[in-house]
Structure 1
Amino acid sequence: MRMQLAQILRKWDGKDTAPLEHAYSSFATEPDFTVHLVELCEIEECERGATWLLKHYVAKSRSGLPEQLAARHAAFAPKLTDWEARLHFLQYFEHLQIPEHLEDPLRQMIDSGLTSENKFVRAWSHYALAVLAQRFPAHKSHAIETLERSDACETAGSVKVRIRKALEKLKV
């Protein structure tokens, strides 16, 4: 299955999701499906499609990854090179269990996304900052300050909406 998934991901054009949806319906019930996807995220030419499939998996199953697998994936996430792969990771980040030792590298990844030229990465980085602050409350006040500053300066409407959702998440 891993080789078949890798082949599908390498051939994916990045636009038509039908091949990925077909791969999902073919393999999602296999016991090592998510293990293979996490491994494939670590291969540059597969990362965009593998993270898309992980995002799809999280949305469909309404659950994250097992703790050790989530830790492995989160440890590698700062090395993702494709902006869409980073975006996908940020979009399902709140469903992952994050061990304490990964807080700093993930915070650095998220912080770099706060100023991304890509408005989607920027928006979801703000939301991920709130998720991280919820999990590791020692930095909650700093996260709120950062989000409030960004809300005052941001011009893209879609980013402002996500910043406000992040602020709501922390102020509740």
Structure 2
Amino acid sequence: MNSARGADAVEIVGGADELLHALAAPATWQLHVKLLQKLPAVEIPGGRKEVLHRLLMRDLSHPNKFVRAWAYGGLATLAHQFPEFEGEVSAIFALGLRDESAAVKARIRNARGKPRASRGPGAGALVHRSNSF
């Protein structure tokens, strides 16, 4: 896949199903990072949360540190949208802060403490959840 084609692929990914399909497909690490970076802007339907969870867990062992770093960010998004994942994500972050490279650790710290846009009533306001993970 050439870089122009990769950029087009990122542009056409709009909804959760399209994004999950693209994340599951083989891609260059650069395209994969761009797809992972789109996660915070996409509301994942409850029926697709396990698919996203599996994809992100797979990406935590990717050989490229940028893919791993953004997979941690994706886990933060998953936990913000589905609080039942907060405990697991907290434990995964603790392991990452112990074992990962400095660049990945920085992304984990950023993902852990970053406010997220609210999707509920009063959307547009920033909501900062506790740093439970």
Instruction: Check conservation: 2:72, 2:93, Cα contact below 8 A.
Output: yes
TM-score, normalized by length of structure 1? 0.60
Name the residue aligned to 1:50.
8
Q: Deviations over 1:123-162 (max 9, x none)?
A: 00001101101100001011011001111111x2221110
Name the residue aligned to 1:30.
none
1:96 aligns with 2:42: yes
Runs of 4+ in 1 over 3 A off after TM superposition: 51-55
- Work out the CA distance in 2 between the residues paired with 1:138 and 1:122: 22
Inter-CA distance 51–120: structure 2 relative to 1 (3 Å threshold): farther
Name the residue aligned to 1:107.
53
Name the residue aligned to 1:163.
108
Instruction: Check conservation: 1:114, 1:122, Cα contact below 8 A.
Output: yes
Which amino acid in structure 2 is aligned with residue 171 of structure 1? N
Describe the SS at the equivalent of 1:171.
Answer: coil
Which amino acid in structure 1 is aligned with residue 46 of structure 2? E
> Where do 5+ consecutive residues of structure 2 fail to align?
115-129
TM-score, normalized by length of structure 2? 0.76
Larger Rg: 1 or 2? Answer: 1
Correspondence 1:1-172 to 2 at 5 A:
13-14=2-3, 46=5, 48-53=6-11, 65=14, 70-82=15-27, 83-154=29-100, 156-169=101-114, 171=131
- Work out the CA distance in 1 between the residues paired with 2:45 and 2:21: 13
| CA positional deviation for 1:54 | 5.5
Count, aligned residues? 116
Name the residue aligned to 2:126.
none
- Work out the CA distance in 2 between the residues paired with 1:85 and 1:103: 22
> Where do 5+ consecutive residues of structure 1 fail to align?
1-9, 15-19, 21-45, 56-64
- Work out the CA distance in 2 between the residues paired with 1:165 and 1:102: 25
Bigger relative contact order (CA 8 A; separation at least 6): 2
Instruction: Check conservation: 1:51, 1:88, Cα contact below 8 A.
Output: no
Describe the SS at the equivalent of 2:61.
Answer: coil
- Work out the CA distance in 1 between the residues paired with 2:12 and 2:95: 32
Q: Percent identity of the aligned residues?
A: 26
- Work out the CA distance in 2 between the residues paired with 1:141 and 1:133: 9
